[in-house]
Amino acid sequence: MHLSRYLLRKSLPISSQFQTAQQVVAQRLFSGQAVSPKLVKQLRELTGSPLKDCMKTLDETKGDIEQAKELLRKRGLADADKKVGRATAEGYVGMRLDRQSRLLTMVELHCETDFVAKTEKFKEGLDRVIETLHKQGNALQFGQTDMSNQDRINQIARELKLSKPLDSDLQSQTLEDGIKYIISKTQENCKLAKIYQRTWNPEEGQIMHSYIHNPQQINSMLFGKLGTAILMQTNDKKHNGEIQDLAESLALHIAAMKPTYLNKKEVPEDLKKKLKEEGPKDQALWKMYNRDVLMEQELATTEESIKVKTLMRQRESEIFTPILIKEWAFFNIGA
């Protein structure tokens, strides 16, 4: 952006005859005569916006701080639109697990560099997004199949109001505006990439466990670079205690081994076919199973060599009832 402005200035004829409106504005903006540094500093402390934007708006409002703030906000949002679409590969996974109301909310919020992810503004934004979604209770129900459904995520972002606006000067902000606000503050594109939200019912023998790798905490939200959740079910609630630790170690396992499919059945037929043709005998297919299929993977939480499905069978035979993995979610930044 700066570059284009710079080039624009350069390419315009210097002669005053041909001065365009833009050039007049540019000269006024960058001459800096009209604005006192004191005011600029004050506005920067208030808004944290880039210096030249502060100068520009103050110049236009002739030094009126309140008006300049308002103008900056609008500009920031307009600028944010330009940044949408830039590649985002960093960020954080945020998670809130409420055992009382049996509600899990997990969100993946992206930005461009991990420096920005570490800023307070970004973390605060993530917390607010989670809080907002969490307050919806079981109204949303973002299951495993919906997790990265971008259309649905965008729709919700447009409709939902933040529980408390990120911009303290505003009465209310939608989720989308909140994210734009973060963009305007960090000058990087931010994106709500994934949402997983689930309620579960222990009365029916359901168990939910989730794990954030190497977590940090803000309020009641845990966040990190990697998060997993697993929803398990038996046919009776009396087994809940017994499968709790199984759920815990599987949540860790998923984080470590990054499976793509739950079991062999879930692997698409054409992929199976392709791998069968590829490898000598079924080796390529077999390798893929061991690498990407949760049930076939070696359990990561122990040094012993034991498959996940073997562990499940063992537990099943101990409690004489089938154990089901109903759903699982794997959120990973940078993958």
Partner 1 sequence: MWLNVLKSRVSEKSSQLGKSMLRQSMFMGMYPSASFAKFDRSKPHLNVGTIGNTPFTLPLLFIFNNNKIGHIDHGKTTLTAAITKYLATKGSAEFKDYHDIDKAPEEKARGITINATTIEYESQNRHYGHVDCPGHADYVKNMITGAARMDGGILVVSAADGAMPQTREHILLCRQVGVKNIIVFLNKCDVVTDPEMHELVELEIRELLNSYQYNGDTTPIIKGSALCALNGTDPELGEKAMEQLIEALDNNIDIPEREMDKPFLMSIDSSVNIPGRGTVVTGTIEHGRCKINDNVEMIGIRRKPQQTTITGIETFNKQLDFGESGDNVGVLLRGVTKEQVKRGMCLSKPGSMDVRRNFQAQLYILKPDEGGRSKPFFTGYRPQCFLRTADVAVDVTLPEGMQMALPGDNFTCTMKLNYPLPLQDMLRFALREGGKTVAAGVITKCLEDSEEDLKEEEERAAKNKKAK
Binding-site ranges for partner 1 (CB under 8 A): 1-3, 5-6, 10, 30-33, 37, 40-41, 44, 48, 50-52, 55, 86, 90, 112-116, 118-121, 185-189, 211, 213-215, 226, 252, 255-257, 298, 300-301, 303
Residues, the chain: 335
In the complex with partner 1, the residue whose CB is nearer, 55 or 156, is: 55
Query: Which of the 8 DSSP states describes residue 18?
Result: G
Given the complex with partner 1, which of 120 and 203 has the nearer CB atom? 120
Asked if residues 321 and 233 have their Cβ atoms less than 8 Å apart, the reply is: no
Q: What is the DSSP letter of 203?
A: G
Q: How many CB atoms lie within 10 A of CB 107?
A: 29
Question: Between 32 and 143, whose beta carbon lies closer to partner 1?
Answer: 32
Q: How far is CA 190 from the centre of its chain?
A: 9
For residue 88, CA distances in Å to 16, 105, 113 come to 43, 22, 8
CB of 112 to partner 1, least distance (A): 5
CB atoms within 10 A of CB 218: 16
In the complex, least distance from residue 25 CB atom to partner 1, rounded to whole angstroms:
14
Q: How far is the CB of 121 from partner 1 (least distance, A)?
A: 6
Residue 35, judged by CB atoms within 10 A of its CB (0-12, 13-18, 19+), counts as buried
Element (H, E) at 229: strand 226-233
Residues sharing a CB contact under 8 Å with residue 285, sequence separation 6 or more, in sequence order:
272, 275, 276, 279
Query: Cα separation of 111 and 175, whole Å?
Result: 16
Question: Of the two residues 57 and 206, which places its CB atom closer to partner 1 in the complex?
Answer: 57
Least separation in angstroms between CB 144 and partner 1? 22
Element (H, E) at 98: strand 90-98
**In the complex, what is the shortest distance from the CB of residue 115 to partner 1, in angstroms, rounded to a whole number?**
4
Question: How far is CA 160 from its chain centroid?
Answer: 16
CB 231 to partner 1: min, Å:
20
Min separation Cβ 229 and partner 1, Å: 15
Nearer to partner 1, 31 or 138 (CB): 31
Cα of 8 vs its chain's centroid, Å:
37
Minimum distance, C-beta of residue 292 to partner 1, in the bound complex (Å): 13
How far is the C-alpha of 215 from the C-alpha of 217, rounded, in Å? 7
The residue whose two tokens read 């992810």 is: 117
Query: Smaller CB distance to partner 1: residue 90 or 176?
Result: 90
> What is the spatial order of strands in the sheet that 216-218 belongs to?
191-199, 103-111, 90-98, 221-224, 216-218
Least CB distance to partner 1 at residue 33 (A) = 8
Comparison of 15 and 33: residue with beta carbon closer to partner 1: 33
By beta-carbon proximity to partner 1, the closer residue of 284 and 319 is 284
Which residue's CB is nearer to partner 1, number 218 or number 319?
Answer: 218
The CA angle 71-75-80, to the nearest 5 degrees, is 150
